[in-house]
A = this chain, B = another copy of it.
Amino acid sequence: MRKPYLLFLGDVTEFSAAKTAAGLKQWRRDDVVGQHRLPGSGVDLELTDMTPAQAAQAGAGTMIVGVVNIGGFVPEHWVGTIVDALDSGLDVAAGMHQRLNDIPAIAAARERTGRAVHDLRQPTRGFAPGNGRKRTGKRLLTVGTDCSVGKKYTALALEAGLRARGIDADFCATGQTGIMISGRGVAIDAVVADFISGAAEWLSPDADPDHWHVVEGQGSLFHPAYAGVTLGLIHGSQPDALVVCHEPVRTHLLGFDYKVPDLRRCIDANVTAARLTNPDARVVGISVNTSRMDPASVAAAVREIEAQTGLPCCDPIRHGVDRILDVLLN
């Protein structure tokens, strides 16, 4: 994708819906020139607001649709903005289930302008079903009590932390944002269901004995819509180590009338699932997202989780991930 990027936030009103844009800002800040929001937007990433034309003048190469929604469709009233971006000379990239290239007005603008339209969620290759055979090298998978709870962020922080300690490690993206950040991966939720585990096996192939594949988790085993994706990803990843991601103040799954599972129960379910394909799987830490918590209450919450689970607990943004790495590497 041509850098730098303009991040399109549409008119989403929840910060969690802008997680693709937020992830790019966090991990690829130097590649981002600004944000573009529609009237009614309730999210501000504290980037310079600019139109596609202004971004093109500022040197932007690609407008990235930086939002996610349930079902992954492109709202009709965003199409005009995407066409504008192409007409302004920008490429456009998105990670929706619905392909931008399948929308006639966008396809027509692509042809007219000669610009590129990237549908990053679409698998670009076929996969075989999983075979369940043990692979060489080591693997860590982030799992969680819900969606949008820090699984990608935690995996990227663990990759960085391992590398800082001189250990060979690679982040394996399983969602559109991770693919945009790292430049490779597979949107595991867009694979045909029969091939979830197979795609996950492909993603972290045989490697040197001391190499760590750090795999971005998806969904939650306790999610009524997405648990199948989560389970297939666990089985195909064959993780030696799991890190459970959690937001302490969240009581219900985002957008669903389902309670967030108890952390202890979530740990047990994930370890049980992982041991099908890797009998040595264990949880090495809890990663908490404390961004919506009163800072004064964080330390007590972390202590409580550590007492409950017997595992190191940290917020990667607030505390780093060193304590989890200490357990992982011990």
Q: Chain A interface (Cβ within 8 Å of chain B)?
A: 70-72, 97, 128-133, 188-194, 196-198, 221-222, 224-233, 235-236, 256-258, 269, 272-273, 276-277
Contact = CB atoms under 8 A, between A and B. Distances in A.
A224 B276 contact: yes
7 contacts: A129-B226, A131-B225, A189-B192, A193-B193, A193-B228, A225-B235, A228-B231
A257 B226 CA distance: 28
A133 B256 CA distance: 9
Nearest to A277: B224
Contacts of A132: 224-225, 256-258
A222 B192 contact: no
A190 B194 contact: yes
A221 B228 CA distance: 10
Contacts of A230: 228
Nearest to A200: B228
A227 B276 contact: yes
Nearest to A233: B228
A196 B232 CA distance: 12
Q: Which 3 A-B pairs have the closest CB atoms?
A: A228-B232, A132-B224, A130-B225
A289 to B, nearest CB: 22
B70 A129 contact: yes
B193 A192 contact: yes
B228 A228 contact: yes
A270 to B, nearest CB: 13
Contacts of A225: 129-132, 194, 197-198, 235
Q: Taking each of A189, A192, A225, which has the highest tally of chain B beta carbons within 10 Å of its own beta carbon?
A: A225
Contacts of A227: 197, 231-232, 235, 273, 276
A195 to B, nearest CB: 8
Q: Taking each of A224, A229, A277, which has the highest tally of chain B beta carbons within 10 Å of its own beta carbon?
A: A224
Given A132-B225, A198-B225, A97 B192 contact: yes
A70 B129 CA distance: 7
A229 B226 contact: no
B192 A191 contact: yes
A35 to B, nearest CB: 26
Nearest to A238: B224
Contact of A190 (B131, B190, B193, B256): B193
A276 B225 CA distance: 11
Contacts of A235: 224-225, 227-228
Nearest to A123: B192
Nearest to A196: B228
Contacts of A130: 224-226
B229 A194 contact: yes
Nearest to A128: B71
A223 B306 CA distance: 33
Q: Taking each of A190, A227, A236, A269, which has the highest tally of chain B beta carbons within 10 Å of its own beta carbon?
A: A227
Contact of A229 (B72, B193, B236, B258): B193
A129 B71 CA distance: 6
A131 B232 contact: no
